[in-house]
Amino acid sequence: DAGVTQSPTHLIKTRGQQVTLRCSPKSGHDTVSWYQQALGQGPQFIFQYYEEEERQRGNFPDRFSGHQFPNYSSELNVNALLLGDSALYLCASSGRTGGYGYTFGSGTRLTVV
């Protein structure tokens, strides 16, 4: 049973650049949530996608955008990268309600220099 897969695992970008992170949800899951985890902090909710639409969003600027495809996979895009965007980006998938817990991918470590 394939779990949540994320790519790439590591990424180094320069300030001002744009980045795209990818996620395939666990089989049977149709909802994808993205989180940012800075060092020493808990994961912070960025946004959630369901039925190819952004269903809800956390306190992140519009530089953070996303997309969900018909096969439920998802992308996270970050424009105009800042040094403060350096973090572990986690993708989590769940069933529609999400109340039974999220399954996380292994994450993408983004470093902005």
Q: Which stretch binds another protein (CB under 8 A): 12-20, 60-68, 73-81, 86-94?
A: 86-94
CA angle 4, 6, 8 (to 5 degrees): 165
Nearer to another protein, 15 or 50 (CB): 50
Among 1, 2, 28, 42, binds another protein (CB under 8 A): 42
The single-letter DSSP state of residue 73 is -
- Residue 100: which residues within 8 A CB-CB, separation 6 or more? 94
Query: Which one of 19, 23, 90, 110 is in contact with another protein (CB under 8 A)?
Result: 90
